[in-house]
Structure 1
Amino acid sequence: MSLSRRTAAEFLGTFWLVLGGCGSAVLAAAYPGLGIGFLGVALAFGLAMLTMAYAVGHISGAHFNPAVTIGLLAGGRFPARDVLPYLLAQVGGAIVAAGIIYTIASGAAGFTVTDGFASNGYGAHSPGGYSLFASLVAEIVLTFGFVMVVLGATDLRAPIGFAPIAIGLALTLVHLIGIPVTNVSVNPARSTGPALFVGGWALSQLWLFWLAPLLGGALAGVLYPLLVGARPTRAVAVPRSTV
């Protein structure tokens, strides 16, 4: 599969992930009397990941996340030459999705991005008031766990055809744990899209939501082969054309 088609799939998949996850947080989480709350937002992220992984995973590997791409690189399961194009496609998809959410949300009277716009934050901008250090630890550990699931679910020794389900459920679990801490990133592209619209504090804190997920993803990529041994993988992690 050509790089252009794979990056287009990454753009589309990340767009869907951010539209589904952040869109549910902005538009539906606190809707009067019918809001979906933390549980609904967590499920939205997981379902968006699951559905698009099945839709385009055979094209691009369904990373939709710079931390996953870096984790696969660190684990020797993704070529370094394709990392930058994948990251650019992922961030681009997230920004466009955030723009669509902003356009829709702006149609309601009283909407303002000062309420957060699903941005990730720590300290005064953490939903639960968690400190920078607590947020850093949470993002590293949750990303590590998520990328370990990605690596394990796409290993040839895992049951065939179920990887998107495991990965989608893992992302749901990550959000159930971490929404009160940082609104959950584990994905620098997901963090970048909303932050660009909020500006100010969201941009000034964005560094953490690049640093911590990339560290967590790289750590998983290094440790997984040490734990189970290096083996070939299926297309959900890396398209066959790049193995």
Structure 2
Amino acid sequence: MVKLKVRSALVRECMAEFLGTFVLLLFGCAAAAQVKTSRETKGQFLSVNMAFSVGVMAAMYLTKGITGAHLNPAVTLSFCILRQTPWTRLLPYALSQLLGAYMASALVYVVYYDAIMEFSGGVLTVYGQNETASIFATYPSEYISLSRTFLDQVVGTAMLMLTILALGEERNTPAPAGLIPPIVAVIVLGISISMSANCGAAINPARDLGPRLFTLTAGWGAEVFTCYNYWFWVPLVAPMIGGVVGTMTYLLFIDWQLPDPDPTPESIPSVFTEDGKPQTAVGNGEKMSRF
């Protein structure tokens, strides 16, 4: 079989972020569609939370070897701050994640089109008992204030970054590389089941904006952006701030407080020649230090 390998590293990485976010949203939004249109006879609120978590795990296993499986602009921003990802990757990754979320929403809509139309009576709306917009994007509860929803998203995303950054830290208790995806999935599940009542626990700008843009173009109209006093900007801005807060908290309380790594034998220059005699000079004639 002929391998069609893309030459550009950036294009390959964007393809991975697109596909990973697509898989994540396909699991999550499909579960939301099933639960809502069946009037919770084929699943419950927990089903949606679990589906998104399974989506995270599947997407990470799928793409971790190419980009590290960011799947979230807030995660990409945090890794840029940590200098683990070049800043030039931030916008391409975010756009790829956004497009992946949009396309996944479109596929869920096609798959569940008949169920959505039957449930909504053919009226696609954001409000009321038969609203279907929340299948795709997140919306706040009517009882909560704008400032509280902003705090909600900051805290949720901060907790995400705070907890996942430690998983690969060799100076602490790192998780086995092959187990990181399910561990992250459990973390996402924990955030979802504890912090989603207020406004859906988006904690991911691409996860929210991609589906919202789809519903705008698929028949729900501008109401998806104007509803709840133009609330749509909260799950875009707050997670980015929350990601930075979580990252800085991790650095201040954990990373900078861990002991410096012990030098490995390979990193300590030898002070002896191959025949066992003391080595006193390097190639340019300078003295070699033992420490």
Q: TM-score, normalised by structure 1?
A: 0.86
Corresponding residue number in structure 2 for 1:133 = 147
Q: Deviations over 1:18-42 (max 9, x none)?
A: 1111221122355246332111111
Contact 1:136 1:208 survives alignment (8 Å): yes
Distance 1:66 1:106 in 2: 29
Corresponding residue number in structure 1 for 2:93 = 86
Q: Which has the higher contact order (CA 8 A, sep 6+)?
A: 1
Which entry has the higher C-alpha Rg, 1 or 2? 2
Residue 64 of structure 1 aligns with an amino acid whose one-letter code is: L
Corresponding residue number in structure 2 for 1:154 = 168
| Pair 1:214-2:221 in alignment | no
Taking a change above 3 Å as real, the CA distance of residues 32 and 206 of structure 1, as seen in their structure-2 partners, is closer
Residue 187 of structure 2 aligns with an amino acid whose one-letter code is: A
Distance 1:150 1:87 in 2: 19
Corresponding residue number in structure 1 for 2:212 = 195
Matches within 5 A, 1:98-109: 98-108=105-115, 109=117
Distance 1:187 1:170 in 2: 14
**Seq. identity, %:** 28
Corresponding residue number in structure 1 for 2:255 = 229
RMSD over aligned Cα, in angstroms?
2.0
Instruction: Give the number of the structure whose residues are more often helix, by fraction.
Output: 1
Corresponding residue number in structure 2 for 1:121 = 139
Contact 1:75 1:224 survives alignment (8 Å): no
Distance 2:249 2:84 in 1: 13
Deviates more, 1:195-204 or 1:45-54: 195-204
Distance 2:194 2:161 in 1: 16
Q: Deviations over 1:54-105 (max 9, x none)?
A: 1211111111011111121222322101111100100000010111112222
Corresponding residue number in structure 2 for 1:142 = 156
Taking a change above 3 Å as real, the CA distance of residues 154 and 22 of structure 1, as seen in their structure-2 partners, is farther
Counterpart among 47, 52, 57 of residue 64 in structure 2: 57
Deviation (angstroms), 1:175 = 1.1
Residue 103 of structure 2 aligns with an amino acid whose one-letter code is: V
Distance 1:185 1:32 in 2: 22
Q: Which runs of 4+ in 1 moved over 4 A?
A: none
Taking a change above 3 Å as real, the CA distance of residues 33 and 151 of structure 1, as seen in their structure-2 partners, is closer
Q: TM-score, normalised by structure 2?
A: 0.72
